[in-house]
Structure 1
Amino acid sequence: MNLFTLIIFMVIIGAAIGAITNAIAIRMLFRPYDPKYIGKWKLPFTPGLIPKRRGELARQIGKTVEEHLLTPESIERKLNEPDFRREVTVMLQKEAKPLLAADHTVAELLEKLQFKEAEQKTERWIESWIDSKYNSIKSVYLHQTVRESLPTEWLDTAQDKIPDISRYILTKGIDYFSGFEGKWRVKKMTDDFLAEWGKLGSMLQMILGNTSLEEKIQPEIIKFLSSPGTKDLLNTLLQKEWEKLLDWKWEDVLKQFSDEKALAKGKSFVLRQLDLPSLFQKPVAHFLQPFEEKITEEVIPALVEKAGSIIASRIPAVMQKLRIGDIVREQVETFSLQRLEQIVLDISRRELKMITLLGGLLGGAIGLIQGLIVGLL
């Protein structure tokens, strides 16, 4: 064998040894996955480096991510970036528009959000709220007088209305007794009166002749009701009764009413005014669309700005509670060895190939040097 052939042969052998050695070394990072035994003797370098040190690798990856990648400062900085907030605002505005125009009813939307029997629960809550408010107000004012508990303006206004009330009562009285029903009522009263007096009543009717007693009484009643003195008398009576009422305690006032009936009527009135069945069957858009521009142009940007600042300020505490390092470690530890190997290879496949080629290049260079030394000797 001549010198040139010897050198070429040694270069090829050296390159093959270098490449194969590096390839085996790279493969031994992952393989074998489990320790191998000959009898009771465990083969060295089994399992591979990464399977053997997977727990430590997972801890180091978690620590690196927590201390250098997902740090509170980096996340806070990202949340405070104007471009990031602008992107979030645009995204929320796009998401809000379909919701604002949704034809789903309020009941359907609440059903999707897992709020079961929303209408019935709302009705029960309103009734409970009325009970609570009634009892709290009652406990505060029960031992106070009407004068003490009501605002002075209300009392003055009510007192100023007494002449109007008197006028209203007298006007209605005049209208009543001027009409057919009032005339019939006077006739019935006079007939009953004459019947009670027996013969004296008959004699009185004979004295009156063709003129009936009610025809004499009715004009006098109307004349009495139209008299200024009657109005003054009624004003005085109402004023006295009003003054007595102002000195009543609410416990005395409430004795005149049934709590249960008052509450039942109050609840019925409130629920009737709210009309919950109709309210829950209206589409969501009915309530939101009138405010669409304000929500998209004002509320959402302000919400993103405020929420971003609040979240950013609480990131350190949140990150501490989340324990990102532990999450990453636990996740890496759940990976199968095949998947972990594939992840590393996907990241560094090109570099590992270059290491193999470099081993071959170095082996070839060593073979060339050895060939030259052999040739010289």
Structure 2
Amino acid sequence: MNISEFLISPIAGSVIGYFTNWLAIKMLFRPHEEKRIFGMKVPFTPGLIPKEKNRIAKKVGETVGKHLLSEEALVKALVDEKVLESLRSITANAFYSLRNNEESLDTILTEILGDHKNSTIDSIENTLSQFIFSKISDQQVLDEITSLIMHPIKSILTRKVEDIPVENIIQSDFLQGDTFRQWIIGEIIELKDRIQNEERTMSEIIPDSWMIYVKEVIRDYFPGLVTLLIDYMNKPFIQQKLKQILLELIQANLGKLALMFVDADKIYDKTLRYIEESAQNEEKREEILKQINSFIDYVVEKPVKEWADKIQLAHHTSEIEDILNKVILYFTKEETLEKLKAMIKEYMSKQDLTVLTLITAIKPNIVQDMHQWIREYLENLIQKNEIFKKINLFISKEIKRSLEVPVSRWVKRIGKSLEEKIQDAVIKYYKLIITSKSSEIAALLDIPHIVEERIMDFETDYTEQIILSVVDRELKAITWLGGLLGFIIGFFPVLF
């Protein structure tokens, strides 16, 4: 056997091995579509990969999702230090941009939301209004608000009476105001009803110390009180009323005939002169004071309701208003008002009492009553639809005002330290969300489905290029390996 005959079989095996491997690799991708001749399908068309593209895409997706981009791999990648530093850098850049942005929030929201801006703002306003309204409607919150209102009131009530700025409180405008007038009328009516049904004596109601104070005040201010009394008795309508009472007393005791010999004006004038002289004469003054004290002692030992029966109290609100108007008219005169202030101020400076002590002597449960009044008032406000409207209007105004402020002003108010805390909070909650919600995130991303759809979207040519770009060298090695194996196998016929 010569050398040519010796090489023919190996060379032929090499060519066959190389060609068959090359053809097999080509048939993985080609032809891309099914081929037919005379209506009959050509075997091995289309290529293996185009033919099994759906199955391969699904399998690759499952493999990538399970082994390459698994839930653990995603979490590890998303909370990597480089990612966290990038997030911090992004947040810092965002603050820097906002700090130098002179646009208003309204402008930015218009750019972001467009036509939906107004409806979004309305929704926020209603949500905030509903939230606040629901909170203040809560019974516990109502108690807290009531206590909050009562706190400064209690602080005022625990002040000493001598610290009360009487000169600022007792003003003619205040005394003539409708609020004060209606309050006084209400208190008078309530007091009148209580007096007419009160079984206790005044000594049981009023502390002994108070009665001592009253007597001391009458003694200390007797000349001044007499002056006030005379001034009051000199008022025309008072003179007329007292003279009428005097004539009625004379008629009741002496008969109508006696009225012919009585001059009411002279008697009234003599009475005034006697009172004036008594105020100047120490002996007479002491006698009058003694009689006044005896009268006070007599009065306080009688049941209150008996005095109410003897005194013709006003039966109608109009009568009370008429009397009150006359009293206010008298005390709102500048001279009288200044005397009243001076007397009250001097009296209070001598007392070691608090406002609460004075009030509770008249109304023992005043603090509890005030708490209840405030609570009921708040409940009534909440039951009305007006309170929700006012809350909504307030929030609307505040949001509108806030939207007009430039973004830079809002951000500059934050400060560097708070900015860093916000960055730390962003990273903290980012990591918390990623780690605690990893299953939901992986399910939401659905990596297998994404990979499968992506592969299905590729053209066959592009798929072939991708695969060849990865394993081109290996496929060529397989082709040449086929030629080498064919060459080696071609020696066997020669050897045998």
> TM-score, normalised to structure 2's length?
0.52
Q: Secondary structure at the match of 2:401?
A: helix
Matched, 1:156 2:279: no
Task: Provide the C-alpha distance between the structure 2 equivalents of 1:252 and 1:85, rounded to a whole number of angstroms.
Answer: 52
Does the aligned pair in 2 maintain the 1:162–1:239 contact within 8 Å? Answer: no
C-alpha spacing 1:158/1:359, structure 2 compared with 1 (3 Å): same
Does the aligned pair in 2 maintain the 1:85–1:305 contact within 8 Å? Answer: no
Please name the residue that 2:117 is paired with. Answer: 116
Question: AA paired with 1:156?
Answer: K
Q: Which is greater in Rg?
A: 2
Question: AA paired with 1:283?
Answer: P
Instruction: Report the CA distance between 1:65 and its aligned residue.
Output: 1.0
Task: Provide the C-alpha distance between the structure 1 equivalents of 2:376 and 2:167, rounded to a whole number of angstroms.
Answer: 25
Task: Provide the C-alpha distance between the structure 2 equivalents of 1:108 and 1:169, rounded to a whole number of angstroms.
Answer: 50
Please name the residue that 2:339 is paired with. Answer: 223
Does the aligned pair in 1 maintain the 2:95–2:411 contact within 8 Å? Answer: no
**1:261-300 equivalent positions in 2, closer than 5 A:** 263=387, 267=391, 270=394, 275-291=398-414, 293-294=416-417, 297-300=420-423
Instruction: Report the CA distance between 1:28 and its aligned residue.
Output: 0.6
Question: AA paired with 2:154?
Answer: D
C-alpha spacing 1:246/1:340, structure 2 compared with 1 (3 Å): same
**1:241-320 equivalent positions in 2, closer than 5 A:** 247=369, 249-250=372-373, 254=377, 263=387, 267=391, 270=394, 275-291=398-414, 293-294=416-417, 297-316=420-439, 318-320=441-443
Please name the residue that 2:17 is paired with. Answer: 18
Task: Provide the C-alpha distance between the structure 2 equivalents of 1:170 and 1:231, rounded to a whole number of angstroms.
Answer: 16
Question: AA paired with 1:329?
Answer: E
Task: Provide the C-alpha distance between the structure 2 equivalents of 1:264 and 1:161, rounded to a whole number of angstroms.
Answer: 37
Task: Provide the C-alpha distance between the structure 1 equivalents of 2:153 and 2:453, rounded to a whole number of angstroms.
Answer: 73
Unaligned runs of 5+ in 1: 177-191, 208-213
Instruction: Report the CA distance between 1:91 and its aligned residue.
Output: 4.3
Please name the residue that 2:302 is paired with. Answer: none
Task: Provide the C-alpha distance between the structure 2 equivalents of 1:61 and 1:328, rounded to a whole number of angstroms.
Answer: 7
RMSD across aligned C-alpha pairs, in angstroms? 5.1
When structure 1 is superposed on structure 2, of 78-87 and 7-16 the one drifting more is 7-16
Please name the residue that 1:210 is paired with. Answer: none
Task: Provide the C-alpha distance between the structure 1 equivalents of 2:443 and 2:26, rounded to a whole number of angstroms.
Answer: 38
Does the aligned pair in 2 maintain the 1:100–1:292 contact within 8 Å? Answer: no
Task: Provide the C-alpha distance between the structure 2 equivalents of 1:309 and 1:175, rounded to a whole number of angstroms.
Answer: 62
Task: Provide the C-alpha distance between the structure 2 equivalents of 1:282 and 1:76, rounded to a whole number of angstroms.
Answer: 40
Instruction: Report the CA distance between 1:284 and its aligned residue.
Output: 1.6
Question: AA paired with 1:111?
Answer: T
Please name the residue that 1:61 is paired with. Answer: 60
Q: Secondary structure at the match of 1:102?
A: coil
Please name the residue that 1:181 is paired with. Answer: none
Please name the residue that 2:298 is paired with. Answer: none
CA offsets, 1:89-111, max 9 Å, x none? 33443444324433332112333
Matched, 1:36 2:35: yes
Instruction: Report the CA distance between 1:132 and its aligned residue.
Output: 4.2
Q: Secondary structure at the match of 2:171?
A: helix
C-alpha spacing 1:34/1:310, structure 2 compared with 1 (3 Å): same
Instruction: Report the CA distance between 1:305 and its aligned residue.
Output: 4.0
When structure 1 is superposed on structure 2, of 301-310 and 221-230 the one drifting more is 221-230
Task: Provide the C-alpha distance between the structure 2 equivalents of 1:138 and 1:3, rounded to a whole number of angstroms.
Answer: 113
CA offsets, 1:99-141, max 9 Å, x none? 4433332112333442612555555555555554555469957
Matched residues, number: 339
Does the aligned pair in 1 maintain the 2:30–2:46 contact within 8 Å? Answer: yes
Q: Secondary structure at the match of 2:28?
A: coil
Task: Provide the C-alpha distance between the structure 1 equivalents of 2:345 and 2:415, rounded to a whole number of angstroms.
Answer: 64
**1:1-377 equivalent positions in 2, closer than 5 A:** 3=2, 14-39=13-38, 41-114=40-113, 116-117=117-118, 120-125=122-127, 127-128=129-130, 131-133=133-135, 135-136=137-138, 153-160=151-158, 163=161, 167-168=166-167, 172-173=171-172, 219-220=335-336, 222-228=338-344, 240=362, 247=369, 249-250=372-373, 254=377, 263=387, 267=391, 270=394, 275-291=398-414, 293-294=416-417, 297-316=420-439, 318-320=441-443, 322-364=445-487, 369=491, 373=494
Task: Provide the C-alpha distance between the structure 1 equivalents of 2:12 and 2:369, rounded to a whole number of angstroms.
Answer: 120
Instruction: Report the CA distance between 1:308 and its aligned residue.
Output: 1.9
> TM-score, normalised to structure 1's length?
0.65
Does the aligned pair in 1 maintain the 2:32–2:47 contact within 8 Å? Answer: yes
Does the aligned pair in 1 maintain the 2:109–2:117 contact within 8 Å? Answer: yes
Report percent identity of matched pairs.
25
Unaligned runs of 5+ in 2: 176-234, 244-264, 270-329, 349-354
CA offsets, 1:51-73, max 9 Å, x none? 22222212321232122211223
Question: AA paired with 2:102?
Answer: D
Instruction: Report the CA distance between 1:280 and its aligned residue.
Output: 0.8
Question: AA paired with 2:156?
Answer: A
